[in-house]
């Protein structure tokens, strides 16, 4: 790791750890920022690095959310009674039950979407370009409608997640807990993704983006890489979903869990804004986007979606490659794109 | 030396278009063989049939005595039969070294291999091959920023890193300036002599193919028109007619 990297990482670490004390009023907002960063990072695995623009990744977010809370509840109480009667009033999780359930819930929130991604991916990752994008868009919308029809998880009414246990301190501790959990998750996600981008997997998904036919002609089983990429992405998205559901405390099928028109679009925008196909792009994009979004909601209330639309237009016209992509075009030498002048002798003479 | 590639009475139709009709040809191991013919005579279709891009309608194709006409592309590639494309196909947003690394295929795409680090000796091997084609200096540039001719050289190097037994080259010198063409001919002969790789080359530039190939096949209207040494082909009336029109 270079010196520059160490400085950047430690700055972010210090900010992440101290933010709840420095900006206590914005604790929830910063927690959401970390979740948004996970969304952008995982979207970028397909959309940026692999060149498969998916508009349906929200599916895994929602599935993770539902699976997490279903496991939390179902481990100790009958799930159908809970959702039918507003069960949080009759059934109470003890402190140990709550944390035990939450742990298992998050584990399953990762695994189940990963399996779903493998199954769906096997079916639709053979599609390319626009066809893949439209297909995933359909899947994301369908998921919300389907979830809205399942009685067991509360159908269109939604379901409540287990409330914070009474015995161990109030809302202050709760928000603290969720803040650090979000921060931990985003760190783990970032480093796992950073690690796999350095392996052969990272090279091959880039190759798929640039020229899938060539990659196939060179004998690479591209399908396998595409599915694995989606599975990794779904795993972390699912966990992010589980976290988000618990943080909000209430799950609704089309507005919160499978919120294609908000989080589903945001994750694409953030990755593109920061620079898709780069490791840091989605992180930068998420931060910038979140600041803009909250600014619009505060200062342009009523017109916030108009302002957001204007932002999208500006991004697409002036930064089609995103912030990092723009810098790369401008200063390629800072990204290692240099002609090796010293080794000019190594150039074989063409006669 | 034995026959490495045998194409036996291959038919390929696209609707009413007879792209390949009853095409048979043999390529000897270790040789450089040319494939010429006017535009639309079915050369690239034949390449596609050989490497398994599309299934053939009739006939059979043998590589080292093994029937490959029904195998998918990756399986054919694994046997050591690779192709390059007429329009260069490189990974334009990756730099040259990464282009090389991604082209080097491990034995199997198991999960373990997929998440394995790229071995160090591979980087060294890539650099050596880039030196061989004269791109070492530009190894850190994005492949998309290279000139067309340099991209062709890069594509050649990418094929070589897998140590194939045979290479199918689709117009390796099309759209390249004359100085660089000599460089490419030189490299191709070296590839053949030093690495012992059999070459089957589609080429429109007669000077190139005559100085390169030991044997030439000529296609016209999807059928095999003539075969023989460069001298024979040069003096074959049917070939001249096919290229210039019957007088």
Residue B29 belongs to a domain: yes
- What value does the mean pLDDT take over residues B108-128? 81
Residue B122 belongs to a domain: no
DSSP letter assigned to residue B159:
H
Residue B129 belongs to a domain: no
Kindly determine whether residue B114 and residue A219, on different chains, have CB atoms separated by under 8 Å.
Answer: no
Specify the number of domains making up chain B: 1
At A346, the pLDDT band (50, 70, 90 cuts) reads: very low
Please state at what angle helix A222-248 crosses helix A58-74, rounded to 10 degrees: 50
Residue B224 belongs to a domain: yes
Q: What is the Cα–Cα distance from A15 to A241, expressed in whole angstroms?
A: 24
Question: Which chain B residues are within 8 Å of A203, Cβ to Cβ?
Answer: 94, 98, 101-102, 118
Residue B238 near chain A (CB below 8 Å): no
Q: Give the gap in angstroms from C-alpha A351 to the nearest C-alpha of chain B.
A: 6
Residue B97 belongs to a domain: no
* Per-residue pLDDT tens digits for A267-303: 999 999 998 888 999 999 999 999 998 888 888 888 8
This prediction has a pTM of: 0.84
Contact B59, B8 (CB under 8 A): yes
* Per-residue pLDDT tens digits for B52-90: 888 899 899 999 988 998 888 878 888 888 888 878 888
- Position A348 scores a pLDDT of 46
* Torsion, CA A313, CA A276, CA A208, CA A114, rounded to 10: -110
Strands (E), B55-98: 58-63, 66-67, 81-83
Kindly determine whether residue B82 and residue A198, on different chains, have CB atoms separated by under 8 Å.
Answer: no
Question: Which chain B residues are within 8 Å of A209, Cβ to Cβ?
Answer: 93
Q: What is the Cα–Cα distance from A86 to B186, expressed in whole angstroms?
A: 79
Q: Look over chain A and give the mean of its residue pLDDT values, rounded to a whole number.
A: 87
Residue B232 belongs to a domain: yes
CATH label of the domain that carries residue B210: 3.40.50.300
Residue B227 belongs to a domain: yes
Q: Look over chain B and give the mean of its residue pLDDT values, rounded to a whole number.
A: 86
- Position A350 scores a pLDDT of 44
Domain that holds residue B203: 3-89+164-244
Question: Which chain A residues are within 8 Å of B158, Cβ to Cβ?
Answer: 218
- What value does the mean pLDDT take over residues A95-120? 93
Backbone torsion region of residue B115, taken as left when φ is above 0, otherwise alpha when ψ lies between -120 and 50, otherwise beta: alpha
Residue B27 belongs to a domain: yes
Interface of A with B in 269-288 (CB under 8 A): 277
Q: Is the ipTM of this complex over 0.85?
A: no
Q: What is the Cα–Cα distance from B49 to B9, expressed in whole angstroms?
A: 12
* Per-residue pLDDT tens digits for B165-204: 999 998 888 878 888 888 888 889 998 998 889 999 998 8
Residue B133 near chain A (CB below 8 Å): yes
DSSP letter assigned to residue B31:
-
A232: closest chain B residue by CA: B115
Contact B9, B29 (CB under 8 A): no
Q: Give the gap in angstroms from C-alpha B114 to the nearest C-alpha of chain A.
A: 5
Helical spans, DSSP H, in A49-199: 58-74, 79-85, 95-124, 129-147, 171-197
- Position B1 scores a pLDDT of 63
In the predicted model, is pLDDT for residue A312 greater than 50? yes
**Using CB atoms, which residue from B85, B138, B182 is nearest to A339?**
B138
Q: What is the Cα–Cα distance from B105 to A57, expressed in whole angstroms?
A: 30
Instruction: Please name every residue paired with B25 in a beta bridge, in sequence order, or none if there are none.
Output: B7
Tell the burial category of B28 from Cβ atoms under 10 Å away from its Cβ (0-12, 13-18, 19+): middle
Kindly determine whether residue A200 and residue B141, on different chains, have CB atoms separated by under 8 Å.
Answer: no
Q: Give the gap in angstroms from C-alpha A163 to the nearest C-alpha of chain B.
A: 40
pLDDT cut 90: percent of chain A above it? 41
Contact B46, B35 (CB under 8 A): yes
Q: Which of A53-57, A115-119, B71-75 ranks highest by mean pLDDT?
A: A115-119
Tell the burial category of A271 from Cβ atoms under 10 Å away from its Cβ (0-12, 13-18, 19+): buried
């Amino acid at each position: 790791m270079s010196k520059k990297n160490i400085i950047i990482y430690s700055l972010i670490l210090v900010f992440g750890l101290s933010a709840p004390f420095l900006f206590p009023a914005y604790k929830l907002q910063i927690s959401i920022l970390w979740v948004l960063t996970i969304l952008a990072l995982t979207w970028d695995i397909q959309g940026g690095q692999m060149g498969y623009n998916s508009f349906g990744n929200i599916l895994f977010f929602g599935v993770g959310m539902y699976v997490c809370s279903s496991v939390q509840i179902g481990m100790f109480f009958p799930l159908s009674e809970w959702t039918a009667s507003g069960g949080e009033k009759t059934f109470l999780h003890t402190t140990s039950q709550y944390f035990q359930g939450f742990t298992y819930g998050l584990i399953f929130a990762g695994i189940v979407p990963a399996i779903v991604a493998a199954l769906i991916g096997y079916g639709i990752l053979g599609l390319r370009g626009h066809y893949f994008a439209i297909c995933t868009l359909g899947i994301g919308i369908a998921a919300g409608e389907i979830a809205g029809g399942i009685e067991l998880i509360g159908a269109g009414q939604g379901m409540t997640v287990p409330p914070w246990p009474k015995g161990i301190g109030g809302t202050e501790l709760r928000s603290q807990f969720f803040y650090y959990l979000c921060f931990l998750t985003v760190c783990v996600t970032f480093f796992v993704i950073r690690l796999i981008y350095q392996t052969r997997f990272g090279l091959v998904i880039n190759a798929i983006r640039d020229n899938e036919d060539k990659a196939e002609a060179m004998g690479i089983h591209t399908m396998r890489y595409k599915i694995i990429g989606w599975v990794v992405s779904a795993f972390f998205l699912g966990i992010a979903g589980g976290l988000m559901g618990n943080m909000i405390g209430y799950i609704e099928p089309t507005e919160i869990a499978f919120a294609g028109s908000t989080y589903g679009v945001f994750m694409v925008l953030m990755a593109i804004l920061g620079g898709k196909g780069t490791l840091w792009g989605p992180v930068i994009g998420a931060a910038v986007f979140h600041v803009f979004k909250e600014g619009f909601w505060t200062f342009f209330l009523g017109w916030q979606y108009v302002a957001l639309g204007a932002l999208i237009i500006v991004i697409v016209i002036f930064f089609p490659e995103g912030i990092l992509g723009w810098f790369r075009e401008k200063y390629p030498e800072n990204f290692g794109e240099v002609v090796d002048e010293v080794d000019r002798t190594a150039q074989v003479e063409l006669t | 030396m034995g026959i490495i590639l045998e194409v036996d009475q291959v038919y390929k139709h696209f609707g009413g278009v007879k792209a390949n009709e009853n095409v048979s040809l043999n390529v000897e191991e270790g040789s450089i063989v040319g494939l010429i013919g006017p535009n639309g005579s079915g050369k690239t279709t034949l390449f596609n049939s050989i490497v398994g891009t599309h299934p053939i309608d009739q006939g059979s194709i043998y590589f080292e005595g093994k029937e490959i006409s029904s195998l998918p592309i990756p399986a054919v590639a694994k046997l050591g039969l690779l192709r390059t494309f007429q329009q260069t196909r490189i990974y334009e947003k990756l730099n040259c070294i990464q282009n090389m690394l991604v082209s080097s295929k491990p034995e199997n795409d198991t999960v373990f291999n997929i998440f394995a680090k790229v071995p160090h000796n591979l980087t060294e091997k890539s650099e050596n091959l880039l030196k061989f084609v004269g791109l070492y200096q530009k190894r850190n540039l994005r492949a998309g920023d290279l000139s067309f001719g340099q991209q062709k050289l890069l594509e050649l190097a990418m094929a070589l890193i897998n140590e194939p037994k045979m290479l199918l080259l689709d117009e390796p010198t099309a759209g390249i300036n004359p100085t660089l063409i000599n460089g490419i001919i030189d490299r191709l002969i070296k590839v053949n002599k030093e690495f012992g790789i059999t070459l089957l080359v589609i080429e429109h530039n007669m000077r190139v193919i005559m100085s390169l190939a030991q044997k030439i096949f000529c296609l016209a209207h999807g059928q095999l028109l003539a075969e023989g040494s460069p001298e024979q082909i040069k003096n074959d009336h049917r070939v001249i007619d096919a290229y210039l029109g019957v007088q």
